[in-house]
Amino acid sequence: MRDYDVLLYGAGGFTGRQTVAYFAAHAPPGLRWAIAGHRRSTLEAARQAAAAQLRDADLIVAASQDQAAVDAAVSRTRVVLSTAGPFALYGTPIVDACVRFRTHYVDITGESPWMREMAARYHEPARAGATRIIPACGFDSIPSDLATLLMSRHFRDTLGVACAEVRTYFQYSGGLNGGTVASLLNMLNNPQRRAEGDSAPQPRDGRIRMIKAPRFDDALGTWIGPFVMAPTNTYVVRRSMMLTDEWQHPYGPTVAYQEAMKYDPPLARLKATAAAAGLVLLFATLKQPATRRLVQRFLPKPGTGPSAATMDDGWFTCEVIGLGADGRRAQGAIGYDGDPGNRATTVLLCESALALAVDAEALPGGPACGGVLTPATGLGDVLVARLRAAGMTVEIPAKEGTRA
Across the chain, which distance is largest between two alpha carbons, in Å? 60
Question: For 141, which DSSP code?
Answer: B
- Chain segment 327-379, per-residue pLDDT in tens: 999 999 999 999 999 999 999 999 999 999 999 999 999 999 999 999 999 99
CA distance 71 to 108: 21
Residues 111 and 179 in one domain: no
Of the candidate ranges 109-118, 130-139, 289-298, 300-309, the one whose mean pLDDT is the lowest: 289-298
The model's confidence at residue 94, banded by pLDDT at 50, 70 and 90, is very high
Residues 119 and 19 in one domain: yes
Q: What is the pLDDT of residue 201?
A: 42
CA distance 151 to 353: 24
CA distance 339 to 175: 7
Residues 391 and 366 in one domain: no
- Helix (H, G, I), strand (E, B), or coil: what is residue 218? coil
* 402 falls within a domain: no
DSSP character string of 265-331:
SSSHHHHHHHHHHHHHHHHHHHHSHHHHHHHHTTSPPTT----HHHHHH-EEEEEEEEEETTS-EEE
Q: What is the pLDDT of residue 270?
A: 97
Q: What is the pLDDT of residue 305?
A: 86
CA distance 330 to 251: 15
Closest CA to 61 of 42, 36, 79: 36
Helices 230-246 and 112-128, interaxial angle, to 10°?
A: 20
Q: What is the pLDDT of residue 272?
A: 97
CA distance 52 to 70: 27
Residues 187 and 303 in one domain: yes
Dihedral angle computed from the Cα positions of residues 141, 26, 81 and 134, in that order, rounded to the nearest 10 degrees:
-40
The model's confidence at residue 196, banded by pLDDT at 50, 70 and 90, is very low
Give the number of domains in the chain: 2
The model's confidence at residue 55, banded by pLDDT at 50, 70 and 90, is low
Residues 243 and 218 in one domain: yes
- Helix (H, G, I), strand (E, B), or coil: what is residue 402? coil
Residues 314 and 360 in one domain: no
- Helix (H, G, I), strand (E, B), or coil: what is residue 334? strand
CA distance 215 to 102: 47
Average pLDDT for residues 177-186, to the nearest whole number? Answer: 79
Average pLDDT for residues 305-325, to the nearest whole number? Answer: 94
Helix (H) or strand (E) holding 117: helix 112-128
Question: In the predicted model, is pLDDT for residue 256 greater than 80?
Answer: yes
Question: In the predicted model, is pLDDT for residue 404 greater than 50?
Answer: no
The chain-wide mean pLDDT, for the chain, equals 90
Residue partners of 43: CB distance under 8 A and separation at least 6: 11, 12, 35, 36, 37, 59, 61
- Chain segment 210-247, per-residue pLDDT in tens: 899 999 999 899 999 999 999 999 999 999 999 998 88
CA distance 147 to 380: 11
* 403 falls within a domain: no
Residues 126 and 154 in one domain: no
CATH number where 362 lies: 3.40.50.720
* 404 falls within a domain: no
* 191 falls within a domain: yes
- Chain segment 278-287, per-residue pLDDT in tens: 999 988 888 8
* 169 falls within a domain: yes
Q: What is the pLDDT of residue 205?
A: 52
* 200 falls within a domain: yes
- Domain limits at 38? 4-136+344-378
Average pLDDT for residues 257-279, to the nearest whole number? Answer: 96
Bridging pattern class, strands 163-173 and 315-324: antiparallel
Q: What is the pLDDT of residue 198?
A: 44
Q: For the chain, how many residues are written?
A: 404
Residues 243 and 126 in one domain: no
Question: For 74, which DSSP code?
Answer: H
Do the Cβ atoms of 75 and 68 come closer than 8 Å?
Answer: no
Residues 186 and 265 in one domain: yes
Of the candidate ranges 25-29, 207-211, 254-258, 286-290, the one whose mean pLDDT is the lowest: 286-290
Average pLDDT for residues 179-190, to the nearest whole number? Answer: 77
- Sheet with strand 59-61: strands edge to edge: 59-61, 33-37, 4-9, 77-82, 104-107, 132-134, 371-372
Phi, psi of 167 (to 5 degrees): -120, 135
Q: What is the pLDDT of residue 328?
A: 95
Residues 220 and 81 in one domain: no
CA distance 344 to 120: 29
Q: What is the pLDDT of residue 401?
A: 43
The model's confidence at residue 289, banded by pLDDT at 50, 70 and 90, is confident
Average pLDDT for residues 121-139, to the nearest whole number? Answer: 98
- Helix (H, G, I), strand (E, B), or coil: what is residue 29? coil
Question: In the predicted model, is pLDDT for residue 276 greater than 50?
Answer: yes
Question: In the predicted model, is pLDDT for residue 261 greater than 50?
Answer: yes
Q: What is the pLDDT of residue 235?
A: 95
Residues 283 and 183 in one domain: yes
Residues 8 and 120 in one domain: yes
